[in-house]
Chain A
C-alpha cells in the first residue's frame, strides 16, 4: 500500500536551533512536497522536488531548506528555528498529474 511516513510526528525546538523533518515514501513517486499549515488555514507550499538531488522553492521558502538525496527521501531543514515557524508540517508525494497524491500524517513543530 502506498505510504508517506514523516518523522518525527511532533517536536519541540528552541529558538535558534536546527530542526530537520524527514519524509520517506514507498510509492515510487517522482514528486515530493513540503507544506506547512497554520491553525485555521490551508496548506502552503514550502519546497518541492520532482527528481532526486534537485529541489525547488515553493510559495514560502524563506527560513527553510530542503534536501532530496534519493527518490524516496525528502527532508525539510530549519537552520535557525524561529517562533513563527511553529506549525504543522505535511509531506506529500505524487506521480503524474492525474494520479493520487499521498500525504503523511503531519509533524507538529513547536518552537519555544
Chain B
C-alpha cells in the first residue's frame, strides 16, 4: 500500500515569502500526483497535477516531482493570508484501480 508522508506538519510564513511543502511516498510507480488546498471546514481545491518528473507551474503554485527520490514538493510564490489552509498531497496508481492516497496535510499560516 502506498504511504504518503507530508512535512512539515505546520508552517508559518510571512506574506510574500516563499512557502515550501514536502511530500514523500513509498512507491515510485505512482502515476500522478496532486496538491490540494482545503480551507477550514471547506472542500478540496486542486492546485497542481503533475505526471512527469520535473516542474509544473500553475499560477503562484509550482510542483516539483522526483520519482527517483520518491519526493514531490509544492512551492507557493508570494503567499497571501488567504492562502492559509491545509495543503494535501495525493497520488494515484493506475495499477491499483486508480486508488488515490492522501497524506495527512500541512497546515500553512501566512501572517500579514
Contact of A90 with B43 at beta-carbon distance under 8 Å, contacts A31-B98, A100-B49 already known: yes
Q: A101-B34, A101-B46, A103-B43 are in contact. Are A42 and B105 (CB under 8 A)?
A: yes
Q: Does A33 contact B (CB under 8 A)?
A: yes
A94 contact set on B, CB distance < 8 A: 92, 98, 100
B46 touches A100 (CB 8 A): yes
Contact A97 B32 (CB under 8 A): yes
Give chain B's interface residue range (CB within 8 Å of chain A): 20 to 34
Whether A59 contacts B100 by the Cβ 8 Å rule is no
Question: Which residues of A have CB within 8 Å of B49?
Answer: 98, 100
Q: Is there contact, CB below 8 Å, between B43 and A97?
A: no
B111 to chain A, nearest CB (A): 21
**Binary per-residue interface labels of chain B (17-57) against chain A in the complex, 1 for a CB within 8 Å, 0 otherwise:** 00000000000000110100000001110100101000000
The residue from B46, B99, B103 contacting A45, defined by CB atoms under 8 A apart = B99
Chain B hits for A41, CB < 8 A: 104-105
Chain B residues with CB below 8 A from A35, complex form: 102
Can you list 19 residue pairs at the A/B interface with Cβ under 8 Å? A31-B97, A33-B100, A41-B104, A42-B88, A43-B88, A43-B102, A45-B99, A50-B97, A59-B1, A94-B92, A94-B98, A94-B100, A97-B31, A97-B92, A98-B51, A100-B46, A100-B49, A103-B44, A106-B43
Q: Is A109 an interface residue (CB 8 A)?
A: no
Q: Given the complex of chains A and B, what is the CA–CA distance between A90 and B44 in angstroms?
A: 9
- B: which residues have CB within 8 A of A? 1, 4, 6, 31-32, 34, 42-44, 46, 49, 51, 88, 90, 92-94, 97-105
Chain A residues within 8 Å of B, Cβ to Cβ: 31, 33, 35, 40-45, 48, 50, 56, 58-59, 90, 92, 94, 96-98, 100-101, 103-106
